[in-house]
Amino acid sequence: MFGYMGKILRVNLTENRITEERLEENIARAFLGGRGLGAKILFDELAPGIDPLSPENKLVVAAGVVTGIPFAGNCRYVIMGKSPLTNIWGETNASGFFGPELRFAGFDAIVFEGKAERPVYLWVHNGEAQLRDASHLWGKVTGETEELIKRELQDDRIRIASIGPGGENLVRYACVLSDFHHANGRTGMGAVMGAKNLKAIAVRGTLKIPLADRDRIAELCKQASKEVWEGAYKDLLHKYGSDGDLDDLHATGRLPTKNFQKCTFEQYENITGETMAETILVRRDPCFACPIACNQVVAAQEPYVVDPAYGGPEYESAAALGSTCMNGDLVAVAKANELCNKYSLDTISTGVTIAFAMECYEKGLLTKADTDGIELTWGNHQAIIQLVEKIAKREGIGDLLAEGVKRAAEKIGRGAEAFAIHIKGQEVPMHEPRGKKGVGLAYATSNRGACHLQAEHDDFFEDPSWLFPEIGLDKTIDRLDMGRDKARMVKILGDFKALYDSLSVCMYASWPEGGVRVQTIKDIVAAATGWDVTLAELMTVGERAFNLCRAFNVREGVSRKDDVLPARLMEPLPEGLYQGQAIPKEQFEQMLDYYYEFRGWDKETGIPTEEKLEELGLGYVTAKLKTSRQSK
Amino acid sequence: MKLTVGFYCGLARRLSKETEAEVEVHEGATLRDVCAALAKKFPAFLGQLIVPGTHDLVEPHFFNVNGSRAANLDVTVQEGDRILLMAITAGG
Ligand code: SF4
């Protein structure tokens, strides 16, 4: 088979046993890799109802079919398992260099199962793999872990994905870091690694990806390099990173502020990408084969020492650790971001959880007696830094906040639930759905709980030049629209994003945010594999992956009742350009009806119908769903 | 006629240090004329926000007039129109 290394590594941590499996061509073609492949493995192999932090959970690390082929944005890889934050489908991807190196080391994916008796790390090198003792690494932060492994294996070019104390201490939103600052951020996959005593995965290889048509790939990569310079955002992204958007979101009144009580932030100018570039930026780092180089690297001495090795805040981190907590101190934002990367904590969930705690403090539900004496007032950046440390170590109040806002609110009670801004248990990211309503629908129906990356945002599709009739995006729609066409758009974009996550390409480098055309990516897939793929076939792969993840969640009890937004995000916006804009319940439910209709899901239950699953080649899933419902 | 343009994108606010601006344009003016007037008032717009010569808007900026996205810069405007200068913000 071309386009793939053709092998999946299976690592049984309980038995210290490593085996290899062939990646069958029919599976590769139906699921491509990344999200799709992970969904197939985990749906088939995990029993419903298991504890995500138990040895029964599995962790899949998967690259995509284009990962490692040298064109911009081809570097991503995905980590998946059942999420300890949401108890449903968990998934998180990252850019950088780890994904390509995993393939050069000989594998398309790794499946971890069981739990190691003591801390271990996996070392994969040119088709060989071994588990090595990591007792001496336990307790170390991510950067130190990487340095020690590289020294031990005497190779500086090794790529390492690891956890710090946050993952070890089972913080429910612990993430996984590679190269100190590329984060597989969301859904707590770092905690799953911690629960398995798996400290790190180290990969290094010089193997070549077998390609069906090398000459054509070379041509297409050249074409992609040309296209990437045509992307509307490449300059902004390079100069300011994704934080270049923060000022626009403030200007339009869509910047989550004060735990989503506000949508503009008086001190916004302090934390923009532009200010970062003028003050603490030291350089911009690329990912594998990507000339955009959008990773902003920062350093500072005062009021906090910020280590540039850990990169710098992108938009989500700047808003979550900044405006959401009313923190207008850029160096403090950068320090909190550095600590999250060191300890392996998701910056979004960390920021939103701290903002939740601040609101509880403001409303008297938490007092100094609960916060270990910390004055948890809005914008108190010393408090934010202290809390990040405490959460990672599960010290004092940190132990409560390490559970995420949903569980913390349940424990605090007395109405704290109203301030817990989450969907399906995951903290809401930094996009205000009342000012781009498709985002609201995508949030509510996302398979991994609140997620801003399930569908490209509404702004693009007001402009005819961004339409893409080949995949059904054939009408401009206003960002505030909540009608049938909007539901259809979100459905199509959801499948499209599931495709990108299965190919494992970076959304910043490819259409619509980046310049690389979808047609070019399709041609690269065809030239790499030798398959005669069409855009329609690729979109079906996306839809298949989306539905399989939904089926995973249905088996865990998810249904229409769970496709909701937090009450606060449905109320009229209090200020800004879209002041008064709300997501009225009735209109939202109507939009959900339309969405289910386009998805081919039952309107009452939100469960994929037998016909839809059959159409997607997932007929066997229906039987599994029925069995799990009968056994409840 | 006098028109007020609201700046609902970060770049316009940063370059002008204003959140809106009043410009004077002739009757029957188009949004391109508005761009030219803005560039005259805020020379810093030229290059970063407005293309010198053609007075096109630099991607991903656009105008919203009376609540809807303007299809292009040839759209004519009149006194009393609510004109917003905006940018498409990405979802990352
Ligand atoms: S666009 Fe940025 S994040 Fe994406 S691959 Fe390129 S450098 Fe990495």
C-alpha A39 chain-centroid distance = 15
User: Nearest residue CA, atom 2 of ligand 1?
Assistant: A294
Instruction: Calculate what percentage of chain B has a pLDDT beyond 90.
Output: 95
The answer on pLDDT for A582 being more than 70 is yes
Tens of pLDDT, residue by residue over A556-581, are 999 999 999 999 999 999 999 999 99
State chain A's mean pLDDT as an integer.
97
Question: How large is the angle between the packed helices A484-503 and A437-445, nearest 10 degrees?
Answer: 60
**Is the pLDDT reported for residue A34 higher than 70?**
yes
**Phi/psi at B34 (5° precision):** -60, -40
Q: Is any ligand 1 atom within 6 A of the Cβ of residue A75?
A: yes
Mutate to test the pocket of ligand 1, among A76, A295, A504 (most ligand atoms within 8 A of CB): A295
* Residue in this structure with the two tokens 């992307």, named with its chain if needed: A231
3 state SS of A88: coil
Contacts of A507 in chain B (CB under 8 A): 91-92
Q: With contacts defined as CB-CB under 8 Å, which chain A residues touch B14? A: 247, 274
Mean pLDDT for A584-590 is 98
Maximal CA-CA distance, chain B: 41
**A630 pLDDT more than 80:** no
Poorest-confidence range of A72-76, A273-277, A390-394?
A: A72-76
pLDDT at position A133, please?
98
pLDDT for A613: 98
Q: What is the pLDDT of residues A253-262, one digit of tens each?
A: 999 999 999 9
Q: Which distant-in-sequence residues (6+ apart) come within 8 Å of A413 by Cβ?
A: none
Distance separating alpha carbons of residues A414 and A198, to the nearest angstrom: 38
pLDDT value at residue A232: 82
Instruction: Please tell me the number of Cα atoms within 13 Å of B34 on its side-chain side.
Output: 33
Q: Give the nearest ligand 1 atom to A294 CA.
A: 2
Ligand 1 centroid to B68 CA: how many Å? 32
Please give the average per-residue pLDDT across A314-342, as a whole number: 98
pLDDT band with cut points at 50, 70 and 90 for residue B36:
very high
Mean pLDDT of the A66-91 span: 96
**A residues 254..273 contacting B (CB < 8 A):** 254, 272
Give the separation between CA A447 and CA A423, rounded to whole angstroms. 10
Q: Is A95 in the pocket of ligand 1 (CB under 6 A)?
A: yes
Q: What mean pLDDT do residues A139-162 have?
A: 98
Which of A95, A38, A92, A34 is closest to A65 using CA atoms? A34
Task: List the end-to-end C-alpha distance of chain A, in Å, as a whole number.
Answer: 41
Nearest to A109 by CA among A548, A504, A621: A504
Span A67-84, mean pLDDT? 96
Whether A292 is in the pocket of ligand 1, judged by its Cβ within 6 Å, is: yes
What is the A519 CA–ligand 1 centroid distance (Å)? 19
User: Residue of the nearest CA to atom 5 in ligand 1?
Assistant: A73
Q: Give the pLDDT confidence score for residue A419 in this predicted structure.
A: 98
A252–B8 C-beta distance less than 8 A:
yes
Chain A environment of B17 (Cβ under 8 Å): none
- pLDDT value, residue A123: 98
What global pTM score does this model have? 0.98
pLDDT at B92: 65
Query: What is the structure's pLDDT at A233?
Result: 86
User: Strands, DSSP E only, in chain B?
Assistant: 2-8, 20-24, 61-65, 68-69, 83-87
Span A173-184, average pLDDT: 98
Q: Quick one: pLDDT at residue A627? A: 81
**Interface contact A456-B91, CB threshold 8 A:** yes
Residue A459 has its nearest CB partner, among B13, B89, B92, at B89
Res A230: pLDDT: 86
| Nearest CA-CA partner of A354 in A259, A466, A480, A255 | A259
Residue A154: is its pLDDT beyond 90? Answer: yes
When pLDDT is averaged across residues A220-243 and rounded to a whole number, the result is: 92
ipTM of the complex: 0.95
Query: Does the C-beta of A293 come closer than 6 Å to ligand 1?
Result: yes
Inter-chain touch A577–B14, beta carbons under 8 Å: no
pLDDT of residue A631: 66
- Where does the pLDDT of residue B68 fall: very low under 50, low under 70, confident under 90, or very high at 90 and above? very high
Q: DSSP character for A595?
A: H
Nearest CA in chain B to A576: B8
Token pair recorded at residue A84: 């300890």
Cβ distance of A247 and B59 shorter than 8 Å? no
Judged against a pLDDT cut of 80, whether residue B55 lies above it is answered with: yes
Closest partner CB to A248 (pick from B19, B87, B92): B87
pLDDT tens figures, A477-529: 999 999 999 999 999 999 999 999 999 999 999 999 999 999 999 999 999 99
Report the share of chain A in percent with pLDDT over 90.
97
Q: Residue B74 contacts by C-beta under 8 Å, 6 or more apart in sequence?
A: B30, B31, B32
Question: Residue A231: what pLDDT?
Answer: 86
